[in-house]
């Protein structure tokens, strides 16, 4: 039993190293630079070892990183929300969301822009994705069918992409966040 536990720990450690190497490479040079050959070299194992952990190769690795990203983003937004309500809640969650997307651009790209085998907005949606959506709904007080939350999420996503592309003035982020707070707080009161 102890040997099986030690073997599992080694396997888990290799898996973590593969994911860390993929994130590091994607952050440095983009997802197109992430290859199974590079990852195998980076962690000091052969490609068959890498495929032993991720039989689907790069697409499975991106999916694993995206799922970890949803957990991290949800945790950050939930912590920012705390017990706040109204405009303060909306602004705190917006800042946490935008900070995450700017601090982890490759992870964010895997989560929302690259094709990954995951279903959004369905009964079979992963629980980690639903939890992320629920924290956005909690922030704006959306107790309806989720449409307002989708609009809030869309606004955050759009701001995130436009900021990263240099299409919005960086020094005006606080103004954009305040505007989201005003508009979505007013929507919650309507």
- Are the CB atoms for 34 and 58 separated by under 8 Å? yes
Q: Express each pLDDT in 36-72 by its tens digit.
A: 898 988 888 888 988 999 999 899 999 999 999 999 9
How distant is the alpha carbon of residue 163 from its chain centre? 17
In terms of domains, do 7 and 99 share one?
no
Same domain, 50 and 112: no
Class of residue 174 by CB neighbours under 10 A (exposed 0-12, middle 13-18, buried 19+): exposed
Looking at the fold, whether 1 and 33 belong to one and the same domain comes out as: yes
Q: Are 153 and 147 in contact (CB under 8 A)?
A: no
The residue range of the domain holding 12 is 1-55
For residue 5, the domain's CATH number is: 1.10.10
Please check whether residues 24 and 71 belong to one and the same domain: no
Q: What pTM did the predictor assign?
A: 0.88
Same domain, residue pair 127 and 149 = yes
Task: Encode pLDDT of 132-173 as tens digits.
Answer: 999 999 999 998 888 999 999 999 999 999 999 999 998 999
Q: What is the number of other CB atoms lying within 10 angstroms of the CB of residue 173? A: 17
């Amino acid at each position: 039993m102890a040997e099986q536990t030690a073997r599992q720990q080694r396997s888990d450690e290799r898996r973590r190293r593969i994911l860390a190497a993929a994130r590091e490479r994607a952050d440095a040079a983009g997802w197109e630079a992430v290859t199974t050959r590079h990852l195998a070299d980076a962690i000091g194992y052969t490609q068959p070892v890498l495929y032993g952990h991720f039989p689907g190769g790069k697409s499975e690795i991106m999916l694993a990183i995206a799922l970890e990203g949803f957990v991290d983003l949800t945790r950050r937004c939930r912590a920012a929300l705390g017990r706040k309500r109204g405009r303060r809640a909306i602004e705190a969650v917006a800042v946490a969301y935008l900070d995450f997307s700017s601090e982890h651009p490759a992870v964010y790209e895997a989560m929302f822009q690259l094709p990954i085998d995951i279903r959004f907005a369905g009964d079979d949606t992963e629980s980690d994705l639903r939890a992320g959506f629920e924290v956005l709904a909690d922030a704006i007080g959306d107790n309806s069918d989720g449409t307002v939350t989708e609009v809030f999420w869309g606004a955050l996503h759009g701001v995130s992409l436009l900021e990263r592309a240099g299409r919005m003035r960086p020094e005006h982020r606080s103004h954009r966040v305040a505007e989201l707070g005003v508009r979505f707080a007013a929507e919650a009161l309507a």
